[in-house]
Chain A
């Protein structure tokens, strides 16, 4: 009857450890080796080549390499883009005019009426009998009229 110790010793010996075996243990070792030799080939399974191919195919394909251009190509492209933008750029606000003319135009639009200053002076109670809202309405009416006059003049100047 084999003991746990026998199995332990034989196991260590089969693992390659330098263990001195008793005749019984040696016999056990021989039987294990014979069983492994007899059953090994029967346990083997042939793996179909297609299985390994299927497994490898989608995974071993090298990752697509990103096209890398020289640095100067990028710099040249950026410079060309800036140049192109400068050539094609058109100011949205129309033709440039002197600042004084722009101010004059604004005065034409709003008729020189400074609603805010009027309202401000009302807050300071310089004009106790005039309400801010009245002044605003008056100024707005004035501005509307002035706007009509301005856009009419602009239309005539543009020929239409």
Chain B
């Protein structure tokens, strides 16, 4: 979404118009969902958090002052929600055992999302679970930095500000985290 359109969508949503929220949801919904999914490890939590995020957006968007970058504000809220969710549960769902979606049909879900056959969905599911397991083995800060970088498209400075650390530390977390992920995923180039 280009800057002007984003600004218009934000202004529209701030006036309480459903169209504005709808546009923001279309633009950021998939990325937020991905962030929630990777951070919590399961689709149920991701959907639940996305719904909650929408409500928070409705409540808090009035206080937002657009200065060019919407993502840091949006993903700070998302990161806080994930932190609260994990803290409330006292365990990290799926992160603890590396499994996900035990009570739903991930194959069907993947096939439906990607429009693929059950075979390729099976492969995709295996990869998904591998990523989830690998992410679970990272420390919290590195995992958060990687996810904020990827889904939030935040700069290292913005990640550093969010994590309260020097810019170089934010980069080091992302760099080492990604290296570790590639190793865990069996990437020969890692």
Residues of A within 8 A of B (CB): 4-12, 14-16, 28, 31-32, 34-36, 38-40, 42-49, 51-52, 54-56, 59-63
Contact = CB atoms under 8 A, between A and B. Distances in A.
Interface string B149-190: 111000111001000001111111011001101100101011
Interface string B118-139: 0000000001100100000000
A61 B50 contact: no
Q: Is the interface of A mostly helix, strand, loop or mixed?
A: helix
A60 B20 CA distance: 9
Interface of B: 18-19, 21-22, 25-26, 29-30, 33-34, 37-38, 43, 46-47, 50-51, 54, 58, 109-110, 112-114, 127-128, 131, 146-147, 149-151, 155-157, 160, 166-172, 174-175, 178-179, 181-182, 185, 187, 189-190
Contact of A11 (B43, B128, B168): B168
Contacts of A36: 149-150, 174, 178
Contacts of B149: 36
A32 B110 CA distance: 29
Nearest to A6: B168
7 contacts: A11-B171, A14-B156, A35-B190, A43-B34, A43-B146, A46-B113, A52-B26
Contacts of B146: 39, 43
